[in-house]
């Protein structure tokens, strides 16, 4: 986890990270109780450690089939955790405010906006991102929805696409893909500025009618 050690990365186990958090916390409490020491500590750059002690929390989450034991800041969103710490950059940031759907992932099977989800709230959950939807990669099998997006050209720049596909899969699973109009309604949280909507709806209806398991 090279450059991200300071913010987290994998720790040996959640238990041990919890222990070390407690240990650091008590060290910190001691510093706070003795202000002059704390001042000196700050001068020596220990404020970083103090901050880290406050900022880091343990998190266990399964992402795309891999169990992660992490130590992260509580204010980190699931989106930034995926992108900046786990390097799963298929999930995109389009607004960071739950307004565009570019960051749509599945948490325990339900579609959520990863930017509106604090990573800490996924404790014990299973997260699926576009990278985990199928084998994918340069040659692996595609999920039927991925294949349908290619067939119907359901994208242009491709930036909203991971979110559209994750949403589309959920849309069918939820039972909200019974007509093009219903799909339009239930996909309206996913903006495509390139305007591939008509083709996206075709792709979803195609998968739905094809009856493939999504």
Partner 1 sequence: MMKDLTNPPIDRIDGRMKVTGGAQYFADFDLPNTAYCVIVGSEIARGSIASLDTKKALGAPGVLGVFTHQNMPPIPGWDAPVGGEADGPAPKPKTEETYRILSSPKILFDGQPIAIVVADTFERATYAASLVKATYTKQPTRTDLHKHVSDGVAPKGAEGGNYLRGKADAYQTAPVTLEANYTIPVEVHNPMELHGILAHWTAANTLMIYAKTQGVNATQQAMAQAFKLDPKNIHVHTEFMGGGFGMGLRTWPQETAVVAIARKINRPLKLVVSRSQMFTLVGHRPYTVQTINMGADRDGKLIGIAHAATAETASYEDFTEATVNMTKFMYACPNVSTRYRLVRLDRSVPIWMRGPGEATGAFALESAMDEMAHKLNLDPIEFRLRNYTETDPEHNRPYSSKHLKEAYQRGAEAIGWKNRKNEPGSVREGDWLIGYGMSTGTFNAFRWEASARILLKADGSLTIQSAVTDIGPGTGTALTMIAHNVLGVPVDRIKVEYGDTSLPKAPTQGGSAIVSAVGSAVYDACTAIKTELAGLALRAGGPLAGQQADELTLADGVLSVEKEPKKKVAVSDLMQANNLTVLDKTKDSKGGPELGKYSMYSFSVHFVQVRVNPQTGVVRVTKAVSVADSGRIVSPKTAASQMIGGVAGGIGMALTEEAIIDHRFGRFVNNNLADYHVAVHADVPAIETIMIDKPDPIINPMGAKGMGEIALIGFAGAVANAVFNATGQRVRDLPITPDKVMQKLA
Interactions with ligand FES, residue window 5-44 (CB under 6 A): none
Task: Give dist(CA 24, CA 98) in Å, integer.
Answer: 35
Whole-number minimum distance, CB 120 to ligand FES, in Å? 17
Contact predicate 134/90, CB 8 Å: no
Return the number of other C-beta atoms located less than 10 Å from residue 135's C-beta: 10
User: Could you tell which of ligand FES, partner 1, none binds residue 124, using a CB distance below 5 to 8 A set by kind?
Assistant: none
User: x/- contact string, 134-173, with ligand FES (CB under 6 A)?
Assistant: ---------------------xxxxxxx------------
Tell me which of partner 1, ligand FES, none is bound by residue 9, counting a contact when its beta carbon lies within the kind-specific cut-off of 5 to 8 angstroms: none
For 36, residues 6+ apart whose C-beta sits below 8 A from its C-beta are none
Site string for partner 1, 149-178 (x = CB under 8 A): xxx-x-xxxxxxxx--x-------------
Q: How far is the CB of 42 from partner 1 (least distance, A)?
A: 9
Residue by residue, DSSP assigns 54-112 as: HH-EEEEEEETTEEEEEEE-TT-BHHHIIIIIS--TTS--S-SSSSS-TTEEEETTEEE
Report the partner that residue 113 touches, choosing among partner 1, ligand FES, none (CB closer than 5 to 8 A by kind): ligand FES
Residues 6+ apart with CB under 8 A from 3: none
Q: Are strands 126-128 and 57-63 parallel, antiparallel or unpaired?
A: parallel
CB nearer ligand FES, residue 21 or residue 149: 149
Strand partners, 110: 107
Please identify, using beta-carbon distances, which residue of 40 and 157 lies nearer to partner 1. Answer: 157
Q: Does 188 bind ligand FES (CB under 6 A)?
A: no
Q: Which is nearer to partner 1, 3 or 33 (CB)?
A: 3
How many of the chain's residues bind ligand FES (CB under 6 A)? Answer: 23
If DSSP codes are grouped into helix, strand and coil, which group holds residue 113?
strand
Q: Give the interface with ligand FES as residue ranges (CB under 6 A).
A: 93-96, 98-103, 113, 115, 155-161, 192-194, 196
């Amino acid at each position: 986890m090279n450059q991200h050690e300071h913010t987290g990365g994998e720790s040996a186990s959640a238990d041990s990270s919890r222990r070390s958090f407690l240990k650091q916390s008590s060290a910190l409490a001691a510093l706070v109780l003795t202000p002059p020491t704390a001042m000196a500590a700050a001068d020596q750059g220990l404020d970083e450690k103090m901050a880290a002690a406050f900022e880091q929390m343990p998190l266990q989450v399964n992402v795309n089939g891999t169990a992660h034991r992490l130590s992260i800041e509580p204010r980190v969103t699931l989106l930034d955790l995926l992108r900046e710490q786990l390097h799963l950059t298929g999930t995109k940031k389009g607004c960071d405010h739950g307004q565009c759907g570019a960051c749509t992932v599945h948490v325990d099977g339900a579609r959520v906006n990863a930017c509106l989800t604090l990573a800490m709230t996924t404790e014990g959950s299973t997260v699926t991102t576009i990278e985990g939807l199928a084998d994918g990669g340069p040659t692996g099998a595609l999920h039927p929805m991925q294949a349908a997006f290619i067939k119907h050209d359901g994208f242009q720049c491709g930036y909203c696409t991971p979110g559209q596909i994750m949403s589309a899969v959920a849309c069918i699973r939820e039972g909200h893909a019974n007509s093009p109009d219903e799909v339009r309604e239930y996909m309206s949280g996913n903006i495509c500025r390139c305007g591939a909507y008509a083709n996206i709806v075709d792709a979803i209806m195609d998968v739905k009618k094809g009856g493939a398991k999504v």
